[in-house]
Structure formats: structure tokens, C-alpha cells
Amino acid sequence: MANSAQARKRARQASAQRDHNMSQRSEYRTAVKKVRKAIEAGDKAAAQQMFQASMRLIDSIADKNIVHKNKAARHKSRLSAAVKAMA
């Protein structure tokens, strides 16, 4: 356990930041799932709309280093290809 006042404060801050990051990461995953669900439903218009909304969120979270930029780019690329492949 932290012994100094500074270490106790850092522990509090780290805990709060961890909670915030977990919330953001959960939001990221939900956005990806929403696009996948729209693709599976076969509704191309809805899938494109969800894709556009999700891209902004994915970029934002990657910029904050909550998820790695390459992971975000990989998800964006695969979702984009899936939306484009819809007939």
C-alpha cells in the first residue's frame, strides 16, 4: 500500500483513470458490435450509418491511446470491407 501522501494520491488518480479508460474501451467495443449487427441484419443503409458514427468514436479513442492505433485501423478496415461487400 502507498505510504506517502503523493503515492496515495497517485493511486487514487490511477484508479479513476483506469475506470475511465475501461468505460471508453467498452464504448469502443459496443460501437464495433453495432456495426457488425447491422451488417448481419443485411440492412446496408443502417450499416453505413452505423459505420460512419462508429468511425468517429474509434478514431477518438485511438487518439487517446486507449486502444492501439493499429488495432483501431484494423477494425475500421475490416468493417469498411464488410459494409462494401454487402449486396
pLDDT per position as a tens digit, 29-87: 999 999 999 999 999 999 999 999 999 999 999 999 999 999 999 999 999 999 999 97
| Cβ atoms of 61 and 24 closer than 8 Å | yes
CATH architecture assigned to 5-85 = Up-down Bundle (1.20)
Instruction: Give 29-40 pLDDT, tens digit per residue.
Output: 999 999 999 999
Q: Which three cell numbers stand for residue 24?
A: 471508453
Q: What is the pLDDT of residue 2?
A: 81
So where are the chain's domains? 5-85
Residue 10 has pLDDT above 80, yes or no: yes
Which residues, 6 or more positions from 34, have their beta carbon under 8 angstroms from its beta carbon?
50, 54
